């Protein structure tokens, strides 16, 4: 896997974390809102796992941010 892919995964995870913190939600609370375990949220935020498109849309909705905000800067 090219290095830029891991860099982008980390950036997306960081944006998810930042938006979650801005929304004043814990990983547990965000997980409950999207029907996922808090461990899954942790894996997304630390780039250990890649969220599916559906999960990205659910996360964006739960955090009240546009999906593009999680993907692009």
Sign of CA dihedral 40, 45, 50, 54: positive
pLDDT for the residue numbered 1:
84
Longest dimension (CA), the chain: 34
Count of structural domains, the chain = 1
Domain with residue 42: its CATH number is 1.10.260.40
Using CA atoms, how far residue 40 sits from 7, 69, 71, in Å, is: 19, 20, 18
Residue 73 lies in a domain: no
Residue 60 lies in a domain: yes
Residue 72 lies in a domain: no
Sign of CA dihedral 19, 5, 53, 49: negative
**Domain boundaries, position 54:** 3-67
pLDDT for the residue numbered 72:
84
pLDDT tens-digit profile of 2-58? 999 999 999 999 999 999 999 999 999 999 999 999 999 999 999 999 999 999 999
């Amino acid at each position: 896997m090219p290095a830029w892919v891991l860099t982008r995964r980390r950036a997306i995870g960081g944006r998810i974390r930042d938006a979650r913190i801005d929304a004043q939600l814990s990983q547990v609370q965000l997980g409950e809102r999207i029907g996922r375990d808090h461990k899954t949220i942790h894996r997304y935020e630390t780039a250990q796992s890649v969220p599916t498109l559906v999960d990205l849309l659910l996360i964006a909705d739960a955090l009240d941010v546009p999906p593009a905000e999680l993907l692009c800067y």
